[in-house]
Amino acid sequence: MTMSNQGQDEPRPDGPRPHEPRQDEPRPHEPDPDALTAAVAQLTAELAGLRRDLARRHLLDLASGVLVAQRSLTPADAADHFAQLAETTNVSPEDLAADIVNAAAGQSAPGGDRAASGDIEAAAGTGAAAAPDEDRSAARRARLVEATAESAAQTGSSVDEIAGTLLDGGMRPLGVRGLWLFRRTETDCLQLAGQAGVSALEAAHWRWVPPGTGSTLHRVLAEAAPLWLPAGPPEGERLPGPAPDAARALLPLRQRGVVTGLALVDWPGPTALDEPVRRALTGLAVPAARILDAGVSDPSESGVLVPLLDLLTHPAMVLRADPETATLHVEHLNRPALDSARHVHGPAGRPLAQLFPAMQADLVRLAQMARESAAPQRAARVPVEHRPGDPDPLHDVRVLPVGPGRTVVLWHGATDPGLSLSRVLGRLENLAAFEDDLITGKSRWSDQAYRIFGLDPAAPPVPLRRLAPHLHRDEIGNLNELLVELTERREGAHTVVRAVREDGGLRHVRIAAEPLLTGGVLTGITGVYQDVSAQHHTEIALTATFDRLTAAQTQAALRHQLVLQLQQAIVPEVPVLQRLPGLQVAARYRPAAEEYRVGGDWYDVLPLPNGRVLVAVGDIAGHGIDSVTGMVALRNALRGLAFTGHSPARLMAWLNEVTLHTHGRPTATAVCALYDPSDRSLCWASAGHLPLLLLRAGEATFLEPPRNILLGAVPAAEYTETVTPLVPGDTLMLYTDGLVESRRTGIDEGLERLRRAVERLRPGGLDERTDALLASVTGDTDDDTSLVVVRLS
C-alpha cells in the first residue's frame, strides 16, 4: 500500500490547473495527523494478520492436497476428512497440516516408514509409533516457517524480509546467527540476493562472488550437495561469517531440479552440527530457493553509508525520493531507528508516511530544503507542536543531502538533557559566555558578549581582570571583590555592575563566574555575562509603583476607618433609647463579619411632636463608602420628612424622590411605620422590604406588606399603606435581610427559621430576648444586620 506524500505532488506544466476554491467555497479538509497515525497502525495490524492467515491457508491447502493424492478424495471430501482428523487427534489444524505434509515428504523421523506406506494418520500423530515430541515440534516448526515465507513472497516482501522470517522462525532456535542467500547468475557468478542477521558492512564485502576463483561456495554449487563445517572452513579459505572458526552450513538451492543458488548459514562460533540440525536446515532450504528473485534491491549507490549509520547509537535512516512522484521512501533504518518503527512490519522500502505519519510533513519539508540548498537542515523537534496522546516526537533532527534523490535523517528519540540545556540557554536573552585561560593569557567570548559591551566583534575579547576600563568608575570595587573571590578564595561568585559602552550607553550587567582548577592550581576563569538592564529598570518601576500602592492603601484604609466610625456613630450597635409612650423598644445593629464590608443598613426610632412614634429600618444595596453615604442621606431625609405629620405612604413617596437625586443613584428597601398610642394602631408602608413579624400570645406571624416598589427604581412612584391594630403584650420585629439570608437555602427557609426562633424565646426582659434572638438567628452571607423589637406595655 502506498500513501500520497503531502506537498510533493505538483501539477505538470502541460496538465490541467487544479481547481481553486472560491472565497465562498469550503476549503478542502486537511488530514488529521492523529487519524493518519491510527489508520497506519490499523492497516499495519491488518496486513500482519493477513500474512499470518495466508501462511496458515497455504499450509492447510498443502495438507488437503496430500489427502487428495493419497486417498483419491475430492477436495471437499479431503477438507471434511482433515477436519475429522483434527477433532479425533485433538491437534490444532496448523500442527496437523504440518504433520501430514512432513509425512508425505518422508520427514517424520521415526514414523517415516509409516509415511512411506501411506499411513498418514499414524504419521500425523495417531499411531503408537509417532515421532518423539522434540522431533515432531521441530518438523512442525519448519513447515510453519516455510508456509510463512511462502506467504511473504506472495505478498511482495523483499528477499531480506523473507530471509528474516526464515531466520527468526526456524533457525534462531538452532543457535544460528546469520543467513546469506546467493543467487546464481547466467555466468555462474554468485550475487548476494538477501541476508538476515548480518550487518550491512559484512554484506557489502560479499555482494558478488565471481566464478573461477575456486572458492568453497562454487564447489558446493558445482557438486550440488550440502557442506557442513562445524569448525569453519579449512585454513586459508574465507567464507562469510563472524569468525574463521565459526560453524557454517552451505546448502544448494534447487528449483525444479536445477541448482539456482546457495544458502550459507553461520553460527557465532564452533558448533556441533548433528543430524536434527542438518535435517531442519535442509527443510528450510526448500522455501529459500523459491524467494531468490523476490524484491532484490540494488544497494550499490548506498556504498559505505549504510554500514556507517549502523554503527551509530542514535536513530538514523536513509530516505530516497521516487524519481517520478518525488514520494519519499525509507531505504534503510539502523537498529535504533527500527525500534522507533516497530509498529510497522518490514519498514524498509515503505513510504515515509507509513512509518512516521505525524512527522511526515515536517520531514518532507526539511528533506526538500536540504536537497535544494545542498546544505544540512536542523530542527529542535519534529513535529513542533506535540499534543498528549501523539507519538513521541523526534528531537534534534538533522537532515543531510547525500546524493541525487537521497537524504539521511538523524535524530534522538528521547530528550537528551545536554541538548535540552543548550536550547534553554539559547532562549535566554542577552546571555553571553566567556572563558579566560590564565596559562596562555587568551580569552574567549561568545558573540553576544560583544553586543552587551558595545564592542566590535573583530576586537579581541577582554579578560575579566582587565574589564575595569569598560565599567563605571563606581563599579571598580565590585569587580575587585569578584576577582578576590575567584582568585584568592577560589570560590564561585557573582555581582551586578554598570558597563559604559563606547556609544555612551549604560548597561547593567550581571557577572557570574567559576574558577577553573587543575591539580589545585588556578588555570582559568569561566562564566557568563547577562544584560539585566531591562530587569533593573523594571525593578525601579516596580519599586515606585509599590510605593504609590502603599500610599494608596494607607489612604484607603484611613478613609475606610472614617466611614466605619461614621456608620457606627449614626447606627450604634446598642443604642440608648429614651422612654416612649406605651412602648418598650430595643434596637441592635450587627456589622458585617468582614470589616471591609461596610454596609448600608440603618434603623431609626423617633418620637414625633404629634405624639406618634416613627419606627423604620432600611437597607441600601451594595457595600462600601457609597452605601454608607446613601444610608446617611436617606435616614436623615426620612427623619426630617416625618416631622411634616404626613402618612407613611406619603413619606415613602418623598423618600423615593430623595433616593433618585442622591449621588450614585442608589436603590434601597425600607419599612416606615407610625405607631399611634391613642388607639394602639400601627400605620406602615413597605418599599420592597421583608415582612414585619408579630408575636402575640406566643404565636409568631408575618404581616403581609403592601406591594410597593423599592426606593430609587422609578420616579413618581406611588406607595400604599396598611393599618395593623395592636394589643398590650404584642411584640413587633423589624429587621434587614442579613438576619435571614443564606447561601445554601432560599429566603423562605430563612424567614421560617426566624419565626420558629421567635416562638422559642423564653420570657424575660426585652433587651435579653433581643440579644437571644440575634444570637440564635443569623444568616451566612457575612452581611450586616439591623433589628428593631417593639413591645406594647
- The answer to whether 785 touches 670, Cβ cutoff 8 Å, is no
According to the model, what pLDDT value does residue 198 have? 85
- The answer to whether 346 touches 158, Cβ cutoff 8 Å, is yes
- The answer to whether 178 touches 167, Cβ cutoff 8 Å, is yes
Average pLDDT over residues 571-582: 69
Return the higher-pLDDT residue of 47 and 674. 674
Instruction: Name the percent of the chain lying above pLDDT 70.
Output: 72
Q: What is the mean pLDDT of the chain?
A: 79
- The answer to whether 648 touches 663, Cβ cutoff 8 Å, is no
According to the model, what pLDDT value does residue 36 have? 59
According to the model, what pLDDT value does residue 168 have? 80
Q: How many helices (H) and strands (E) does the chain have?
A: 22, 26
Average pLDDT over residues 86-115: 57
What is the H or E stretch that residue 181 is in?
strand 178-184
Which three three-digit cell numbers place residue 126?
495417531
Return the higher-pLDDT residue of 169 and 351. 351
pTM above 0.85, yes or no: no
Task: Return the minimum-mean-pLDDT range out of 321-325, 516-520, 570-574, 741-745.
Answer: 570-574
The DSSP annotation for 630-647 comes to HHHHHHHHHHHHHTT---
According to the model, what pLDDT value does residue 345 have? 66
Q: What is the pLDDT of residues 5-63, one digit of tens each?
A: 433 344 444 444 444 444 444 444 444 555 555 666 666 666 666 666 666 666 676 66
Give the span between the Cα atoms of 462 and 385, in whole angstroms. 42
Amino acid identity of residue 659, one-letter, is T
According to the model, what pLDDT value does residue 741 have? 86
Q: Are strands 328-333 and 208-209 parallel, antiparallel or unpaired?
A: unpaired
User: How large is the greatest C-alpha to C-alpha distance in the chain, in angstroms?
Assistant: 145
Rg (CA), the chain: 49
- The answer to whether 483 touches 507, Cβ cutoff 8 Å, is no
- The answer to whether 203 touches 182, Cβ cutoff 8 Å, is no
Amino acid identity of residue 227, one-letter, is L
SS3 state at 672: strand
**Residue among 410, 505, 496 at smallest CA distance from 453:** 505
**Residue among 43, 49, 45 at smallest CA distance from 3:** 43
Phi, psi for residue 641 in degrees, rounded to 5: -65, -30
Strand 328-333: give its sheet, edge to edge: 328-333, 316-321, 406-412, 394-403, 377-382
Which three three-digit cell numbers place residue 62?
498443502
Give the span between the Cα atoms of 657 and 711, in whole angstroms. 8
According to the model, what pLDDT value does residue 598 have? 65
Q: What is the pLDDT of residues 116-159, one digit of tens each?
A: 334 555 545 443 344 455 555 655 556 556 666 565 555 556 77
**Residue among 512, 506, 513 at smallest CA distance from 536:** 506
Give the span between the Cα atoms of 381 and 369, in whole angstroms. 16
Which three three-digit cell numbers place residue 465?
581582570
Q: What is the pLDDT of residues 406-421, one digit of tens each?
A: 899 999 876 555 555 5
- The answer to whether 158 touches 348, Cβ cutoff 8 Å, is yes
According to the model, what pLDDT value does residue 33 have? 53
Give the span between the Cα atoms of 1 and 42, in whole angstroms. 13
